[in-house]
A and B are shown apart, each in its own frame.
Chain A
Amino acid sequence: MAMSDKYSESKLLKEKSEWVRKETLKIHKVAHETRLASSLSAVEIFVALYYGKIINFNPKNTAWEGRDRFIISKGHGAISFYPVLADLGFFPKEYLNNVCKAGCILGGIPDAIIPGFETVNGSLGHGLGVGCGMALGLKRKKCKEKVFVLVGDGELYEGSIWEAVMFAAEHELDNLILIVDDNKVCMLDYCKNVIDLAPLDKKFEAFGWVTRKVDGHDTEELYKSLRHFKDNDDKRPKVLIANTVKGKGVARLEKDSLSHIKNLSADEVDTLVSELG
């Protein structure tokens, strides 16, 4: 990539992140049932994956064999993925005004009825195991496509996650890339006050995974790490632990241990959106 391309690429990812954050707030304004804080921590992850072209996709044929598979296991935190999909042509942008409204395919928690989603989401701890099955299937078919799975750190309390973590290493699923949205907060408190998950990287390393930590709001760092993982020929499965802030961009949520269940008023959203420009 030439220097100017690199610059414009990096600028694009930043601009798209700002736009997605703004759109996510607007969605929350029309659909207060959506989980805002959890969706805001993952904004840059979605942007890096899709606008950074880490993931191969085809909005006109979502069952295209050549697509990389992306499972969003933390389904409630995927509202910020709606603007990305709309912008990339998976469905009309008008849908974003009707989230959670009768007749719209975009609900509070996305499922595979929405173009761009592979699985039924909403219950935690399922995506990684299903992703392992897909990764194994792709290897047996000798396909080069990768499987990306996004989980939240709180989701790692689910025992089924660790069943899959063991499986992936044993079966050398080098085509599997797990991203942990490490936003430090589950529903009722900071994870460290519930059952401390640290040291997360050491845990994955002990289970035989390639592990990398990254600032989850730095799109360039995210892009570089994901690209490195995708092109890497290490036989082990890979996990990117993205250090994020739950409720990123909304000061009131950023320091609230109960941010997961907090809603913003319409006025608050309007103020934030105008501040974001």
Chain B
Amino acid sequence: MKKENLRAMRDVFIEELCNRMENDRDIFFVCADFGSPKLDRLRSSFKDRFINVGIAEQDLINISTGLALEGFTVYAYAIAPFLTMRPYEQIRINLSMQSQLKEVNVNLVGVGAGLSYDVSGPTHHCLEDISIMRVLPNIEIFSPSDWVLAGGFVDYSIRVKKPKYLRFDGKPLPPIYEKVDIDRGFSELKKGKDLCIVSTGYMTHKALTAVEKLSREGIDAGLLDIFMLRPLDEELLFNILRKYRCVLTIEEGFINKAGLDSIVLNGLNKKSASIKLRNIGFNDAYIFDIGSRDHLHELNGLGIDSIVKDVKALLG
């Protein structure tokens, strides 16, 4: 991974949002006692529209819902596992159900996707969020792989008046994109002949490294980064995937549980495509091992060498 121009998704997003708040009086930023260096400007500039509810995630969602029902565009900001799992029923009833009847533009901004908070242990790891948020109807899911996408999403989040879950990585990452088309939902970062790797979020960076390594070993892998997990233009996506003989999904979450793997599998099944599919992700156990994100990936079969090995097994 390149080490240039590293930036945190939340910082870029909040900076851009701050700019919008200068002219848009209808934006509220609500947090559950969670910060960011860039949040300091927002906090001091918009004292009347920045609300810290305290360490109270249920209240975070309920207050945000009430504000949205009064017509405000709301950002509910917290650490991803606490934002999605502590107030799951508040999200289910007040965002997922309520938005089917009335307009509710609440953007759940979660920081710490996957193993972003590597050494903080399993309470801070977030390996379930894609699956559990996908189960809820009416909620859009944005899973960006870089800060360019994150910054580009601000406009979309104001324009599309639906509840959304934004799963931001917790670590500063280099850019992948130069410009973004959020509405398209995904991007074919590289075309290949032998197989297509499908990834989301942080794992797209690892996939890029794997694709380079595979290339050195004579394997031509394509790479598709899905950043809008819902809504997703399945026609458009599977018109690309059907050109391949093999597809490998890589996600930093539990597999076989309605995550990225299931999006791809269900899509291929609908098309009755005869494509060999393999999924990489975490198996059915929490991670109590201590170490860096890459170390934890190595231990769990998500290291670059493991990915290359899996690709070879898939290609037979």
Please determine whether B98 and A138 come into contact, CB atoms closer than 8 angstroms: no
Which partner residue on chain B sits nearest A120 by CB separation? B97
Q: In the complex where A112-B101, A120-B101 touch, is A137 in contact with B58 (Cβ < 8 A)?
A: no
Please determine whether A119 and B63 come into contact, CB atoms closer than 8 angstroms: no
Contacts of B62 in A (CB 8 A): 126, 128-130, 132-133, 160, 164
Contacts of A164 in B (CB 8 A): 59, 62-63
Complex Cα spacing A76 to B270, Å:
41
Complex Cα spacing A140 to B67, Å:
10
Contacts of A126 in B (CB 8 A): 62, 90, 93-94
Stretch from B69-77, B124-132, B156-164, B215-223 contacting the other chain: B69-77
Please determine whether A163 and B59 come into contact, CB atoms closer than 8 angstroms: yes
Q: In the complex where A160-B59, A163-B59, A167-B59 touch, is A134 in contact with B101 (Cβ < 8 A)?
A: no
Q: In the complex where A111-B101, A112-B102 touch, is A130 in contact with B59 (Cβ < 8 A)?
A: no
Number of A-B contacts (CB under 8 A): 96
Tell me the smallest distance from the CB of A82 to a CB of chain B, in Å.
18
Stretch from B45-53, B113-121, B258-266 contacting the other chain: B45-53
The reply on B89 being an interface residue by CB < 8 A is yes
Complex Cα spacing A125 to B93, Å:
11
The reply on A31 being an interface residue by CB < 8 A is no
Complex Cα spacing A112 to B93, Å:
12
Tell me the smallest distance from the CB of B137 to a CB of chain A, in Å.
13
Contacts of B61 in A (CB 8 A): 129
Within 8 A of B (CB), among A86-120: 111-113, 118-120
* Number of A interface residues in the complex (CB < 8 A): 30
Contacts of A112 in B (CB 8 A): 98, 101-102
Chain B interface mostly: helix
Tell me the smallest distance from the CB of A182 to a CB of chain B, in Å.
22
Partner of B67, one of A119, A125, A137: A137
Please determine whether B66 and A137 come into contact, CB atoms closer than 8 angstroms: yes
Contacts of B49 in A (CB 8 A): 140
The reply on B56 being an interface residue by CB < 8 A is yes
Which partner residue on chain B sits nearest A170 by CB separation? B54
Contacts of B48 in A (CB 8 A): 140
Please determine whether A113 and B66 come into contact, CB atoms closer than 8 angstroms: no
Contacts of B28 in A (CB 8 A): 137, 140
Contacts of A128 in B (CB 8 A): 62
Please determine whether A133 and B90 come into contact, CB atoms closer than 8 angstroms: no
Which partner residue on chain B sits nearest A158 by CB separation? B58
Contacts of A111 in B (CB 8 A): 97, 101
Please determine whether B59 and A137 come into contact, CB atoms closer than 8 angstroms: no
Contacts of B89 in A (CB 8 A): 123
Complex Cα spacing A98 to B51, Å:
44
The reply on B200 being an interface residue by CB < 8 A is no
Complex Cα spacing A210 to B133, Å:
39
Tell me the smallest distance from the CB of B252 to a CB of chain A, in Å.
30
Please determine whether B63 and A167 come into contact, CB atoms closer than 8 angstroms: yes
Q: In the complex where A126-B93, A160-B59, A160-B90 touch, is A113 in contact with B71 (Cβ < 8 A)?
A: no
Please determine whether A120 and B59 come into contact, CB atoms closer than 8 angstroms: no
Tell me the smallest distance from the CB of B217 to a CB of chain A, in Å.
54
Within 8 A of B (CB), among A115-169: 118-120, 122-123, 125-126, 128-138, 140-141, 159-160, 163-164, 166-167
Tell me the smallest distance from the CB of A39 to a CB of chain B, in Å.
21
Tell me the smallest distance from the CB of B291 to a CB of chain A, in Å.
35
Which partner residue on chain B sits nearest A117 by CB separation? B101
Please determine whether A137 and B70 come into contact, CB atoms closer than 8 angstroms: yes
The reply on B65 being an interface residue by CB < 8 A is yes
Please determine whether B67 and A134 come into contact, CB atoms closer than 8 angstroms: yes
Which partner residue on chain B sits nearest A130 by CB separation? B66
Tell me the smallest distance from the CB of B134 to a CB of chain A, in Å.
20
Complex Cα spacing A133 to B74, Å:
11
Contacts of A129 in B (CB 8 A): 58-59, 61-63, 65-66, 90
Complex Cα spacing A138 to B69, Å:
10
Please determine whether A131 and B90 come into contact, CB atoms closer than 8 angstroms: no
Complex Cα spacing A138 to B67, Å:
8
Contacts of A131 in B (CB 8 A): 66
Complex Cα spacing A118 to B68, Å:
13
| Cβ-closest 7 pairs across A and B | A133-B66, A129-B62, A137-B70, A163-B59, A134-B66, A160-B58, A133-B63
10 contacts between A and B (CB under 8 A): A120-B94, A120-B97, A134-B70, A140-B28, A140-B48, A140-B49, A160-B58, A163-B53, A166-B54, A167-B54
Interface, chain B (partner A; CB < 8 A)? 28, 48-49, 51, 53-54, 56, 58-59, 61-72, 89-90, 93-94, 97-98, 101-102
Q: Besides A123-B89, A140-B48, 13 other CB < 8 A contacts?
A: A111-B101, A119-B98, A120-B97, A128-B62, A129-B58, A129-B59, A130-B66, A133-B65, A134-B66, A134-B70, A137-B67, A140-B49, A160-B90
